[in-house]
Structure 1
Amino acid sequence: MPAILEAESTLTDRYQTTVPESVRRALRLDKRDRIHYTIRPSGEVVLTRAESADEADPVLGQFLGFLADDIARHPARLQAVDRRFVQRLQSLTQGVDVDLDAPLSADDE
């Protein structure tokens, strides 16, 4: 899979490094944020912004991990989303307001 962004940094004598600005912006990292490292069997390291325990959803995390693995194994299967499909979705949801932070009703749980 082609890289979207590449950057380098140097390890200090104390094995510390500065995360390059381009990576901080891409991952929306701020001071005191935590970083998560995933080391794949190939030796590839995936660096992501670690979510706090309050924000982490284990089911969503497993699903996103499944998607990431599938994309890594079969990059040729990726397809661009058709512009007409996006426009159709936008027309179907136009004017629909959703508050993702609102509690679910008893019927929706």
Structure 2
Amino acid sequence: MKNPFRFLGVSKLTDRFQTTIPAFVRQELGLNKRDTIEFLKSDDGYIVLGRREPKAPESQEEFSPTLLAWLKFIEQDHENHPEQLKPLGEVMFAEIDALVGDVEVDLDQPLDPNDDLR
């Protein structure tokens, strides 16, 4: 059986498992900044990527199952223990800002090899 795909190029992963999609591939797929890309796997093992069309905002398909489970947990905890809810006041906000307000993140910096990202 003839391979239905043609080679378009390569892209390398960074230490953070990020990559740049080459310009000619972005043009071919009609990709713009902030677009969502979906990955599909065929029965014969090919991985295909494409531009994902935006869904209706009310669709929960856009949210990860992990996030939805976390939000459900928070909702149940709020219902069961409303007395535990406390507003984030100015003092607490200032304390948080003092702890992390000057933290800079370099996304190009390699990750610690001991971190497990899988």
TM-score by length of 1: 0.45
Q: In terms of Rg, which structure is larger?
A: 2
Q: Tell me which of the two structures has the higher relative contact order, counting C-alpha pairs closer than 8 angstroms and 6 or more residues apart.
A: 2
TM-score (norm: length of structure 2): 0.41
